[in-house]
Structure 1
Amino acid sequence: MDHHSYTTEEVAKRLKVSKLTVYDLIKKGELPSYRVGRQMRVDASDLEQYITEMKTGKVQVVSSSMQVMNPLSKSDSCIISGQDLSLDMLTKHVESRLKASNMLRAYQGSLTSLIQMYQGKGDIVSLHLFDGDTGEYNIPYVKRILVGQPCIVMNLLSRTSGFYVQKGNPKQIKTWNDLCNPSIQFVNRERGSGIRVLVDEQLRINGISKTDICGYDWEESNHIGVASQVANGKADVGVGTEKVAQIVNVDFVPLIQERYDLVILKTEENMELIETVNSVLQSSEFQNELRAIGGYDISKTGQIIYETN
């Protein structure tokens, strides 16, 4: 018997889908899984059976009459999407309070996650999406994308984003217009990420063409990836959070204070989840952990920023 198992990332690569799609298959009961510590695993035999059933059109989907409607039951899971370390901490706290829950982490960008939520995937989405027309974070995107979907938006924290530059900032990169210098090599974030939205909105409102930026199409999938390319001298500048600049050997030029919020759909099944998340955010234990990490503004943590009826 084959006892080999796969991580969710390996399953995603095998199926050529996103990790969030894998989590959704697990959540719906279409792909059997189990946990090893905090990691979800899928047996090789179960994955091969799923692939075979897909090819033959015999995938057995759990019928709605057999599903347990409480999304936090043992047969179901809760997906928390986003990349910040604070979300891993949040996952731990929510899981400790909802003993029957399986908390799954999806490391998707903000815009991608919000679109996935509209499509019915993801229970908690973290956002840091800048709107250049209003100068506001997140709410304009929630209103545009979650059309007809009642939801609640709670503040997780605020943090500073800016330029990662090499030590001493030898090319004196200070403004968005400096990126147009042909001698400056830029490294970008992937489409769908909050930082990519910030970059594109700043280019738009500053009248800068992406074709004028050397490296605009060079994409990294996370803050550390961007900062590391600057640190090793392959790039002169990238955009990310101040916290990562403290971890990687780069200097930081602050540009904007971004509000990092959580979005949860307001459904009857999610009421317990909403109450639990709000309780965790307002707890001294969780906030003290954020303070210990440093680099976060928690003055609005737990506040309800926006709510639909």
Structure 2
Amino acid sequence: MRIQIRPTLVFGNKNAKDPAVVDLVWLTALLKDIDHGKTLMSACKKMGLSYRNVWQKLNDVELALGFKLMDRVRGHGSQLSEYARYLIQFTEDFDQKTMRLGQSSLSHLEEGFAQFRVRAKKQWRFASSSDPIIQKAVLNIGGFELITAGSGEALERLQNYEVDIAGYHVSDPKSSLIISKQLQKEGMQIFPVMKRVQGLLVAKGNPLNIISPKDLLRPKVRFINRQKGSGTRLLLDTILAKEGIDAQGIRGYENEEFTHTAIATAILAKKADAGMGVKSIALENGLDFIQLKDEIFFLAMNKDLSLNTDFAKLIRKIRVLSSASPGYKSIGLKRQIAGWL
């Protein structure tokens, strides 16, 4: 376990039941990336978060503070305001002060936590992108509290020490390298566990003859989407952008579900004609499947926890289940993911 003292902005009066909270370390890291020439989109990919999620969070922060963090200049991207630069300097100064003054106290606290963990029966917190193999593995071995979340949210919770382990999926080596570099910088260990196939789920027999994402633009096709911040939603948006497809032209693009199973259920109930999901869910529910992209599923955790037997059991169980499931392939060797980490 690593413990940090981190500056946090809390918006709202002291009696607010649910005040808005923003981690200044996260915020200033994002601002510095943008200041170093990165676009907001590339900075989001580096953090493994969705563009819309980060954009909304920045807007909320600006609204609460009462001033702009970025000036949007047509043709020149985003430039930091003087207020943003002040926040960056404040956070850097805060980190230096706490590093000098609090190191001995933090070490003492970490030692105390380690002793309590040995004596207590731990229910590990596991935030993971929706996946049936992950759900089966957790159910089979026990000892984990599974929290279904988008890949970006799962990683954010891990980096904020809200959970012990995160499950996320990536569809291209470049994005994977960016995410893994950031996680390793934060002292995390990454384990590739399986490869899976993502694509479009459609009714049995594919009555509307949907063969590619461009067919989603047809007026009669009703689409059901995954929630903002999920890895599957990010994958879809990436595919749409690559093919020059305007998402707003897709009927039902704003309608969201939180799991692959929920997508399949909506199609079976004839509430939608197509949705993104994994191949195994299509097969389980008697749906047709149009393959779009292979991706690799990773588990990330603190290095100190990676040697724990509970985590080793979870990783083995996921690999065993994925090797025996259609649409999946177990991943355990470095040569199988060359260029991804």
TM-score (normalised: structure 2) = 0.59
Give the 5 Å matches for 1:137-152.
138-143=176-181, 146=183, 148-152=185-189
In the alignment, is residue 255 of structure 1 matched against residue 302 of structure 2? no
Question: Which residue of 74, 87, 101 corresponds with 2:134?
Answer: 87
Matched, 1:296 2:328: yes
Aligned residue type for 1:296: Y
Instruction: Give, in whole Å, the separation in 2 of the partners of 1:148 and 1:72.
Output: 27
SS of equivalent residue, structure 2 residue 261: helix
User: Are the counterparts in 1 of residues 225 and 255 from structure 2 also a CA contact under 8 Å?
Assistant: yes
- Measured against aligned partners, the alpha-carbon deviations of 1:172-216 in whole angstroms (never above 9, x if no partner) come to 111121111122111100112111111111111112121111111
Query: What residue is the counterpart of 1:224 in the other structure?
Result: 261
SS in 2 for 1:243: helix
How far apart in 1 are the matches of 2:139 and 2:333?
17
SS at match of 1:200: helix
What's the CA shift for 1:279? 6.6
Equivalent residue number for residue 272 of structure 2: 235
Name the residue aligned to 2:165.
Answer: 124
- The alignment status of 1:171 with 2:208, answered yes or no, reads yes
Residue correspondence of structure 1 range 96-135 to structure 2 within 5 A: 102-130=143-171
Question: Any idea what SS the aligned residue of 2:156 has?
Answer: helix
CA contact 2:261–2:281 (8 Å) conserved in 1: yes
The counterpart of 1:68, out of the listed 113, 125, 129, is: 113
Change (3 A) 1:143 1:73: farther
Secondary structure at the aligned position of 1:68 is classed as helix
- CA offsets, 1:2-44, max 9 Å, x none? xxxxxxxxxxxxx989xxxxxxxxxxxxxxxxxxxxxxxxxxx
Q: 1:78 to 1:229 in 2, by over 3 A?
A: same
Tell whether 2:317 aligns with 1:272.
Answer: no
% identity of equivalent residues: 24
In structure 2, the gaps of 5 or more residues are: 1-16, 20-107
Distance 1:225 1:297, change over 3 A: same
Among 177, 186, 190, the residue aligned to 1:153: 190
Q: Give the distance between the partners of 2:18 and 2:215, measured in 1 at CA.
A: 38
Q: Counterpart of 1:272 in structure 2: which amino acid?
A: L
Q: Secondary structure at the match of 2:207?
A: coil
Shift of 1:234: 1.6
Q: Where does residue 182 of structure 1 map in the other structure? A: 219
Distance of 1:205 and 1:286 partners within structure 2:
32
SS at match of 2:205: coil
Q: Distance in 2 between matches of 1:197 and 1:217?
A: 14
Deviations along 1:119-157, one digit per CA (max 9) or x if unpaired, are 2222211111335xxx6563333445x484022221111
Once residues 319 and 121 of structure 2 are traced to their aligned partners in structure 1, the CA distance between those partners, rounded to angstroms, is: 31
Change (3 A) 1:120 1:230: same
- Name the aligned partner's letter for residue 125 of structure 2: I
Give the letter for the 1:80 counterpart: F
1:293 CA displacement: 4.0
Q: Is the 8 A contact 2:193 2:319 kept in 1?
A: no
SS at 1:234 equivalent: coil
Do 1:163 and 1:239's aligned partners in 2 also have CA atoms closer than 8 Å? yes
Unaligned runs of 5+ in 1: 1-14, 18-62, 96-101
Distance of 2:185 and 2:266 partners within structure 1: 41
**Conserved? CA contact 2:202–2:275, under 8 Å:** yes
Contact 1:130 1:201 in 2 (8 A): no
Residue 156 of structure 1 aligns to which amino acid in structure 2?
Answer: V
Structure-2 change in CA distance of 1:75 and 1:279 (3 Å): closer
Asked if structure 2 preserves the Cα contact closer than 8 Å seen for 1:157 and 1:297, the reply is yes
Task: Report SS of the residue matched to 1:297.
Answer: strand
Q: Quickly say closer, same or farther: Cα 1:280–1:129, change in 2 above 3 A.
A: closer
